[in-house]
Amino acid sequence: MDKLLVDGGFPITGDIRISGAKNAALPALMASLLTSGSVQIGNIPHLQDITTTLEILQHLGAVVQVDEKLAIEVDASELRELRAPYELVRTMRASILVLGPLLSRFGEAEVSLPGGCAIGSRPVNLHIKGLEAMGAEIDIAGGYIRARVPQGRLKGAHIVFDTTTVTGTENLMMAATLADGVTVLDNAAREPEVADLADCLVSMGAIIEGAGSDVIRIKGVESLHDTVHHVIPDRIEAATYLVAAAVTGGRIRVRGIRPIFLDAVVNKLVEAGATVKNSNGGIELYMEGSHINSVDIRTAPFPAFPTDMQAQFVLLNAVSQGTATVTETIFDNRFMHVQELQRMGANIEIAGNTAIVHGVDHLSGAQVMATDLRASACLVLAGLVANGETVIDRIYHIDRGYESIEEKLAQCGARIRRLPSGISSSFQLPK
Ligand code: EPU
């Protein structure tokens, strides 16, 4: 397994172009299953989760073409399968997003239950409950969700989510586009990625109002058609690099993003002592000196502070002056990075769903293990700020969600490189 080697102590200074958002690209690609027309999705990041998505689409029988700019064209006019198998689903939970489109277009679908996850239990009961409310009959047997629509076409329904769910909202929104009648999704997720999927669906002929708010209204149509859609930039990637500059006392500009998506994170960076301003389609961050104020964090659905930035802010607090609490309200087991940070000298206690983080003078490089995508990002940031060399194992997690992270950071002055599997970690970093 590849590792990352980071020699810490160098400020992150420069300019980074932000890639397309993983969590917008995945549902947009799955939306191609709703039509026999060709769906072209641009600004797709080069990531393992995208490869897995394309494997699923191809497994179902879709024809996938990738051009040199990584725009992906999917032709799902003739599918040979309506079943997403365990082997593919277990590597990516977002595979559940095939369920709504397949069921809506073909009246049947089978998807493996996603199984365990490093950040919490993550059930899909709300996806299932919503589809049942729209007339689907669903059995769970042999580890698979088996769904069919006895009357052939889903029916519009008023669905109130017990908990705000991002992929649940996306799955039901896709299902509703071809349903008979009007579907209202209440307590829907307001994440920009949900609104981006709605834009994609509308460009395919869907009738959707209210995406981006907590009530989404979808009027079903008979069929959807061809489209070309470009996914929005990745707000979590951008925010991760802003934190990289903040903790290393650097200066950075992240380009090609929509600053409004980052308000909750930027407010916390300003509270931590950074100077931040919007500039020509980007955000600039400047940190004067090495003093970081500790900042309390509480994760919650958009537009509040994102759970996908929680681990990075645990790290920020670990090297701050003061003590802060970081409370995780979305997932029940998302503190796996804490033990690894403790191995680097961080002073953090866990009390239920809260990490109490006492800032320390410095972290020391160590061998650490990535456990999930955002925990891996946190460990890379820890390596950038620590004294000495950090070796991060199991970085396949980071390849699921950060395009060329070591190249982007190296361009900004980081001493970081990938160590392909089989090479000893005593490998020397270039001076
Ligand atoms: N939940 C249920 N039942 C359901 C669905 C969700 O109880 O049927 C609960 C979950 O267990 C969790 C909460 O609802 O406690 C919110 O989960 P949500 O469904 O919103 O998460 P998700 O859709 O599975 C997406 C992102 C995650 C991101 C979360 C929260 C994608 C592909 N994934 O997951 O991204 O953390 O929303 O914003 O969009 C990541 O990129 O690293 C990542 C994990």
| Sequence-distant (≥ 6) Cβ neighbours of residue 51 within 8 angstroms | none
| Sequence-distant (≥ 6) Cβ neighbours of residue 241 within 8 angstroms | 12, 16, 18, 252, 254, 408, 409, 412
* Residue 380, pLDDT score: 98
Atom of ligand 1 nearest to the CA of 307: 36
Residue ranges of alpha helices (H) inside 13-123 are 22-31, 48-60, 86-89, 99-106
| Reported pTM | 0.96
- Whether a cis peptide bond, with omega within 30° of 0, leads into 420 is no
* Residue 84, pLDDT score: 95
198 Cβ inside 6 Å of ligand 1: no
> pLDDT by residue (tens digit) across 322-332?
999 999 999 98
What mean pLDDT do residues 397-418 have?
Answer: 95
The sign of the torsion formed by the CA atoms of 96, 100, 103, 106 equals negative
* Residue 428, pLDDT score: 47
> pLDDT by residue (tens digit) across 339-364?
999 999 999 999 999 999 999 999 99
The gap from C-alpha 175 to its chain's centroid, in whole angstroms, comes to 22
Percent with pLDDT over 90 in the chain: 87
162 Cβ inside 6 Å of ligand 1: no
Based on the residue annotation, tell me whether 117 is a catalytic residue of this protein: yes
Whether the per-residue pLDDT at 73 is higher than 60: the answer is yes
Which amino acid appears at position 381 of this protein?
L
Q: What is the mean pLDDT of the chain?
A: 94
What are residue 137's DSSP bridge partners?
148
* Residue 70, pLDDT score: 78
Give the pLDDT band (50/70/90) at residue 68: confident
pLDDT top residue among 29 and 69: 29
26 Cβ inside 6 Å of ligand 1: yes
* Residue 196, pLDDT score: 98
Q: Whose CA is nearest to atom 18 of ligand 1?
A: 165
User: Ligand 1: which of 22, 165, 231, 261 to mutate, judged by most atoms within 8 Å of the beta carbon?
Assistant: 165
166 Cβ inside 6 Å of ligand 1: yes
What are residue 209's DSSP bridge partners?
217
123 Cβ inside 6 Å of ligand 1: yes
Whether the per-residue pLDDT at 146 is higher than 90: the answer is yes
Rg of the chain's alpha carbons, rounded to an integer? Answer: 22
Give the pLDDT band (50/70/90) at residue 289: confident
165 Cβ inside 6 Å of ligand 1: yes
Q: What is the Å distance from ligand 1's center to 158 Cα?
A: 21
Atom of ligand 1 nearest to the CA of 125: 8
What mean pLDDT do residues 188-197 have?
Answer: 98
The phi and psi torsions of 79 (rounded to 5 degrees) equal -100, 145
| Sequence-distant (≥ 6) Cβ neighbours of residue 201 within 8 angstroms | 31, 34, 173, 174, 177, 208, 224
E strands along 86-136, which residues? 108-112
Q: What is the Å distance from ligand 1's center to 166 Cα?
A: 6
CA dihedral 86, 89, 90, 96 (to 10 degrees): -120
What mean pLDDT do residues 106-124 have?
Answer: 83
Whether the per-residue pLDDT at 424 is higher than 70: the answer is no
E strands along 114-201, which residues? 137-141, 144-148, 158-160, 182-186
Nearest to 3 by CA among 431, 386, 383: 383
User: Ligand 1: which of 113, 121, 122 to mutate, judged by most atoms within 8 Å of the beta carbon?
Assistant: 122
How many CB atoms are closer than 10 A to CB 361? 9
Q: Whose CA is nearest to atom 28 of ligand 1?
A: 308
